[in-house]
Structure 1
Amino acid sequence: MRRACAVHNRAGRTGPADRGAWVDGETRGGAPHETQRNSIEGQARISGAVVQAQQVHGGVHVYPPAPPPGPAPVPVPRQLPPVPGHFVNRRRELAALDAVLSRHMAQDAGAIPLIVVNGPAGVGKTTFAARWLGGRAADFPGGQLYADLRGHTAEGAAAPGEVLGRFLRALGAGSVPADLAEQMSEWRSRSAELKVAVLLDNALSAAQIRPLLPAGPGSVAVVTSRRRLTGLNLDGADFHRLEVFDAADGVELLRLGIGADRVAGEPAATRRVVDLCGGLPLAVRLASARLASRPRQPVAALAAALAPDADGLAALDVEGETTVSKALDASYSVLGQDAALLYRRLGQLPLATFDVPAAAAACARPPHWADDRLDELVEANLLEMVGPEGFRFHDLVRVHARTLGAADTADGGPGTTLRRVCDWYLHTTTAAEARLTPAQLHLPRDYVHPPQGLPVPFADDLGATRWLDAHRLDLMTLLRTAADRGWHAYAWQLADAMWPLVLRLRHYDLWIEAYDIGLAAARADGHERAVRQMLTSGAIGLNAMRRYDAAVARYEDARVAARDAGDIRDEGQALLGIGRSHREAGRPAEARPYLEQAIALWEACGYVRGTGLARTVLGEAALAAGEPVRAAAYFARARQTHLAVDDPHDAARNLAFLGRAKAMGGEQAAGVAHMEEALGVFTASGATHWQARTLEMLGDSAYERGDHPAAAELHSQALACYELTNPDDANRLRQLLATRTPGGPE
């Protein structure tokens, strides 16, 4: 029997959920008559399903081969930013990096090459590093990872944990620990067995780099920065200064952009433009884009536009920003009115990347309008494409756009632009929440600028989950921004709407921060119901991370707040959480009174579904105590409750537990049938964690009845699923498998 983990390839809910109960799928609330031999000769090649016959009668059905069993393989990450088609020279610098890598490979001392490429802004450090690593892809079969460390942006430098989370997920981790030390340990463990290339772009300091270095022999790390980062001397770094272009290379880059005829027709003006661009590739590319968009404009006209100011100040300062500003002014001046508006508005956003809906929201325009304007900005080299749907600024371009936008007070100014985009993200995240967790208690939403005419960018559960995952860093950025600006109601509402993101995708590194921010915002807003919601949401995350005592403390705060407000349902949820935390911490005697109190409160207020959740925990406690008959009674009753309130996910969880209890009690056939039925529900809904839990229980039952090969197979499948959701569970099960030999004793 083989089963595959259904992850990100199935639509379907993990089941209704409301906070105050379970995480991990739990809640917050015929034979032929004759044979014809056929043959194929020559050099024919056949791909896919094929039918070859002399005569065909009736219906012919051709089925593609079944997919291989087990979880889908994790794609090898290829994250390097694209290299522009107009890449000029740099042969000497590329050869120098080749020599560094060859020297390390020859020494074979196990040290990871660390290469630092520094130079002024706009000199092309990122493009150069991406070009070099892209040409050596075969040397790094484990993949190529990229992170923009934001060392020189107004949003602030990226924290190591933010980058490690992305790297770990790119290498197949379904969840990431919240603690930085645990993240670093997991990163070292995963990268130790791989040959990977890591490009750490736009670094600010040596301390920012060290946690991100890979551990695998044969790997390499390349760092780009405007700073020298001499502190990395201690780490054995090789330093390479990237200089500006000489005149010949600058002219060649311009020729590639505007054509040989225009360069040949005005050689003096061409050299003048390159000279005024200070040899900076970014400035030359921007000048090229402007000339290309105005084919009849003389090159000399652009040279005049880039000329130094009348006071005689040099056009280029030490970092080249004056020249780039001149080039950007020239590029901006020829934009259409609408594209110029979008350029200024995007400059006000703290987001690292933008997509069409965000751009449309920034200007209160329809998506097709934003799509066309974004194309115009890309054509002018003022925006770069990132993947099939994303766009971003170069750092210096962002500064230019922000400066222009800050002076634009029309239509409410920069604050209105930011709030429009914030409201669109809140609206869309809330739509995902309503789709993915429809049974939870939804708190109100307050929109200053309700999105108008912008469709939600997903149509099913899978699309909603993928949207949340793709925009999780945007959501955290806006959450922090709202807190910094004192938009308290917005901050807790966005944190509340993000519940399906943490519940389904288990980004532990974001979970605790999001609900800490949400809790502080709810308290500042004076919204007592939101305070209780944030307390419970954060407590569930702490419990999921096995920080049981911290979870109990936060649940106690939620319990006191609920009692003070006279909210019996919320008080029951806090009691359930306390009981669950004690049980999972190995304190079943302490857990039972809290769970029984929760049942009594919920029966009194008519919250039937909650009583089923509490009985599930009591059943798990009985199961762990070796009392399968008593456990089965709890699970059977809880299952009937969840079926009655149309909660198929929790009904399936109870069915899986009921099957395990029956198998432990000697009813192997009935127990296995229950667990396999529940596994079918979890597979269809894409509830990967509960696929793993059920596969593990099936494996345990197979081992107990002496079928060791089947047990090993089932546990291996469970391990593959845990690898996608929870490193702790994966390590636990891996250790269990290591203690067993095929067919042997435990």
Structure 2
Amino acid sequence: MRERDLVDVFMGAGPAAGLPPGGAAWRDLERLTGAAREQDAALAAAWSEAGLTGSYESLHALAAALVGHTGDARLGEALRQWFHAHAGLGAAAGALHTNVLQGDTRVDGPSLQARDVHGGIHLHHAPPPRRPPTPRQLLPVPAHFTDRTDDLRTLDALRTAQPGCAPQLVVVSGPAGVGKTALVSRWLQVAAPEFPDGQLYADLRGHASAGPARSAEALAGFLRALGAGSVPAAAQEQTALWRSLTADLRLTVMLDNAFSAAQVRALLPAAPGSLVVVTSRYRLTGLVVDGAGFHRVGMLEPAAALELLTRAVGGDRVERDREAARQVVSLCGRLPLALCLAAAQLASRPQRPVAALASALTRGRGPLDGLSVEGEAAVRTALDESYDALPARAARAYRAMALLPVRRYDAHLVAAACAVMPEEAEDLLDLLADVNLLEENEVDNYRFHDLVRLHAARRAESEETARQRETTLRRFVDGCLAAATSAEELLTPSHRTLPRSYAHPPAGPAPFGSADECLAWLDGHRYDLMAAVRLAADRGWDASAWQLADAMWPLFLRLRPYDLWVEAHETGLAAALRDGHRAGTARMLTSGGGGLCNAGRPDDAVQWFTDALGRAVEDGDERQQAQALHGLGQAHQLKDDPDRAEGFFARALALREAIGYRRGAALSRVCLGETVMTRGRLRQAVDHLARAYDDLLALDESYEASRALAHLGRATALAGDPEAGARQLRRALEDFEASGSVHWQARTMEMLGLVAGERGETAEARRWYTRSLALYGPLSPSDAARLRDRLGELPGADSS
């Protein structure tokens, strides 16, 4: 298929006409998609349904099926252009554009039943899904960027030489500080119009003291940037979702500071229209099997190096002492990072002669010393000069920041570590950026160059005592704990029941005020918070470790980072046990057990919930016993053991009713009703689910009530009243569409398909399965595979 032909088809069908079956546009589309429909049962089913009805609904389902088909990655772009051109097609088109084409995958799935452990969670107030913004993550091009014309030309040539059957891959290598990141940022900024679906960036931390970043960390960030609200726990599923979401996109992906070919390979997208550029100190020749082109960046030419210095300092000043300027260029080894540091020193002290800087950089060493280790010594002497000129408070912040286990800095983190107010921290960050000791990633967000961070860490090691360094780290952990707890109090107030202890309570306010700001802060600092959990555990600050894992509950509940959820609670559980805190241990077991269920580890979850139950019995805590019993029911349900699941849910229900925990009892009834339905006791299932629905509505738990209603609709249909069951399912679907729960929309559509199929309404079943598949496609590969199987099992599927 040719993309231009598809675009002509979609753009040629006006908003009033749509794509009427039998029309010219329909015949063109039929011709262009013939081979694809023969390969894909879901696409064939969607085509058949659209041909029968010609409705907008069926056409939108067809469009979604086309996007889900990866045989021709250009289909999605053609559809995107069509939807952009005809935005007035109505709410269904908008919803499809948001939820399918843009991959909005917020999940409020069955695993959310774990929320009853703590109660009071209200996700149903969330707004409907919005189209995620096109990611624009590239770092800004430094103002001092100079020349590199030959390098840019070479990169263009590498792109031209690569075939279009796979994502283009370019590796840019060179010594630290040579300007690889600036060069690639400039190149990709110029190329941005060719990649309308966005620009992704990840720092792979190839030379960080704590070791390189895990590929899964970068991959999770990319998936969220493309709209995946929940990232699978298993690496294989993450990779499958990444390939699905990028199959029809034209993206640029910058993988900065890579350590190995394996680290990069896991992050390659699926689309042949995408461009991946890797920077590394190593050549990474192992990527040759992936079709990579290679370019090594060298030092600036003498004239370009002198131009960089002149632009930063001022032409008149350099002209007055041109020989000294050439000496500075030579002493800096023509390395851009060293030159920028030297230029910042001159710019900040207008009266200082260039010759004085040249003398300071020499410091009695011969010229060979300034060029050793690929320019690293030149950077070191320039950094010494910059550091010596800092005010004492800025020098202290510089040292403190290098100790923190984070890669990005904002005023809140710096304020906590330095025991200052956020306003002062902002001033310190600005000052360090002014002299090029920090790079500004985005507004109010900064980072160190690797060599600068190393210099700052060495200064901290030599100028501060072990106790001072430990105090800085403890303040950082306390700052993370205080901020996460503030978010917890606002987002999940019923969960905020356990104590918090601080060695150094932060002086400043929380960095947010609204619920949206809380969630955004937790999202943006998820890896900083996890680093704080690990640090606290490693240092023996056990109370801080488990309390921080507990305070991160809204992050785990709302954003579903399953890998971090499990790791935080494994670390927190060990810390709570060492701390001897019974309530903290219980919380880690129950909250962590829910994470293990979500991560697909039900056997481990059984062990955790069993431990929690035993401890709750010892403590005489009936509410905690009920929570553990309910969790055991969930775990055994995932283990496909309905007998034991039913028993645990029944015990949890009885205990919750006895202690008057009405919300928890209703949620246990939902699970119990679902379980007995799978065992064929349909009237009992209807009774449980109807009671749960009424109770949840009375408690204003509309989201949970909608889940109960969906299960009730399925049970009602199986019990012999498919018309009433379908009505209940449709009502639940309307609720989920209003609340933005994409997962439950897909699941309810699948239930409607099952009901239709059981009534012999094959076309209706196909329609619901196709719509469900369209939503599951970018959300869950395993669920999507199940829907494809359902479509393939429908009568007449092979011939449609």
Task: Quickly name the TM-score band, shorter chain normalised.
Answer: 0.7 to 0.9
Which residue of the partner structure matches residue 594 of structure 2? 540
Cα RMSD for the two superposed structures: 3.5
Which residue of the partner structure matches residue 632 of structure 1? 686
Q: Establish whether residue 261 from structure 1 lines up as the match of residue 350 from structure 2.
A: no
Secondary structure in structure 1 of the residue aligned to 2:254: strand
Q: Establish whether residue 100 from structure 1 lines up as the match of residue 158 from structure 2.
A: yes
Q: How far apart are residue 132 of structure 1 and its match?
A: 2.2
Q: Decide whether the 8 Å contact of 1:602 with 1:610 is kept in 2.
A: yes
Which residue of the partner structure matches residue 27 of structure 1? 116
Pairing 1:3-402 to 2, within 5 Å after superposition? 4=95, 23=112, 26-29=115-118, 72-105=130-163, 108=164, 110=165, 112-233=167-288, 235-309=290-364, 314-402=369-457
Separation (CA, whole Å) in 2 of partners of 1:578 and 1:423: 34
Which residue of the partner structure matches residue 627 of structure 2? 573
Q: How far apart are residue 151 of structure 1 and its match?
A: 1.2
Separation (CA, whole Å) in 1 of partners of 2:337 and 2:661: 63
Pairing 1:675-686 to 2, within 5 Å after superposition? none
Q: Percent of aligned pairs with the same residue?
A: 49
Separation (CA, whole Å) in 2 of partners of 1:708 and 1:265: 86
Q: Decide whether the 8 Å contact of 2:244 with 2:778 is kept in 1.
A: no
Separation (CA, whole Å) in 2 of partners of 1:571 and 1:155: 40
Which residue of the partner structure matches residue 33 of structure 1? none
Q: How far apart are residue 324 of structure 1 and its match?
A: 0.9
Secondary structure in structure 1 of the residue aligned to 2:171: strand
Which AA in structure 1 matches 2:116? T
Which residue of the partner structure matches residue 529 of structure 2? 475
Match for residue 471 of structure 2 among 405, 416, 420: 416
Q: 1:307 to 1:738 in 2, by over 3 A?
A: farther
Which AA in structure 2 matches 1:485? R
Q: How far apart are residue 205 of structure 1 and its match?
A: 2.4
Q: Decide whether the 8 Å contact of 1:24 with 1:504 is kept in 2.
A: no
Which residue of the partner structure matches residue 62 of structure 1? none
Which is worse superposed, 655-664 or 544-553?
A: 655-664
Pairing 1:631-650 to 2, within 5 Å after superposition? 631-642=685-696, 647-650=701-704
Q: Decide whether the 8 Å contact of 1:86 with 1:257 is kept in 2.
A: yes
Q: String of CA shifts for 1:123-148, please: whole Å, max 9, x gaps.
A: 11111122223322344444332211
Separation (CA, whole Å) in 2 of partners of 1:698 and 1:189: 26
Q: Decide whether the 8 Å contact of 2:128 with 2:738 is kept in 1.
A: no
Which residue of the partner structure matches residue 54 of structure 2? none
Q: Decide whether the 8 Å contact of 1:712 with 1:742 is kept in 2.
A: no
Separation (CA, whole Å) in 1 of partners of 2:733 and 2:415: 43
Secondary structure in structure 2 of the residue aligned to 1:245: coil
Q: 1:491 to 1:741 in 2, by over 3 A?
A: farther
Secondary structure in structure 2 of the residue aligned to 1:224: strand
Q: Decide whether the 8 Å contact of 1:25 with 1:689 is kept in 2.
A: no
Separation (CA, whole Å) in 2 of partners of 1:356 and 1:713: 52
Which AA in structure 1 matches 2:575? A
Q: Decide whether the 8 Å contact of 1:83 with 1:130 is kept in 2.
A: yes
Secondary structure in structure 1 of the residue aligned to 2:178: coil
Which is worse superposed, 170-179 or 264-273?
A: 170-179
Which residue of the partner structure matches residue 13 of structure 2? none
Q: Decide whether the 8 Å contact of 1:116 with 1:240 is kept in 2.
A: yes
Separation (CA, whole Å) in 2 of partners of 1:189 and 1:405: 46
Q: 1:706 to 1:309 in 2, by over 3 A?
A: farther
Which is worse superposed, 154-163 or 620-629?
A: 620-629
Q: 1:729 to 1:355 in 2, by over 3 A?
A: farther
Q: Decide whether the 8 Å contact of 1:22 with 1:28 is kept in 2.
A: no
Match for residue 644 of structure 2 among 574, 590, 593: 590
Secondary structure in structure 2 of the residue aligned to 1:350: coil
Q: 1:645 to 1:288 in 2, by over 3 A?
A: same
Q: Decide whether the 8 Å contact of 1:25 with 1:690 is kept in 2.
A: no
Aligned length: 695
Q: 1:72 to 1:721 in 2, by over 3 A?
A: farther
Q: How far apart are residue 98 of structure 1 and its match?
A: 1.8
Which residue of the partner structure matches residue 40 of structure 1? none
Pairing 1:708-719 to 2, within 5 Å after superposition? none
Separation (CA, whole Å) in 2 of partners of 1:25 and 1:79: 34
Secondary structure in structure 2 of the residue aligned to 1:212: coil
Q: 1:687 to 1:491 in 2, by over 3 A?
A: farther
Q: 1:713 to 1:456 in 2, by over 3 A?
A: farther
Secondary structure in structure 1 of the residue aligned to 2:558: helix
Q: Decide whether the 8 Å contact of 2:201 with 2:255 is kept in 1.
A: yes
Higher helix share: 2
Q: Establish whether residue 520 from structure 1 lines up as the match of residue 578 from structure 2.
A: no
- Give ranges in structure 2 of 5+ residues lacking alignment: 1-56, 58-90, 100-105, 119-126
Q: How far apart are residue 388 of structure 1 and its match?
A: 2.4
Q: 1:168 to 1:453 in 2, by over 3 A?
A: closer
Which residue of the partner structure matches residue 121 of structure 2? none
Which is worse superposed, 377-386 or 700-709?
A: 700-709
Which is worse superposed, 480-489 or 722-731?
A: 722-731
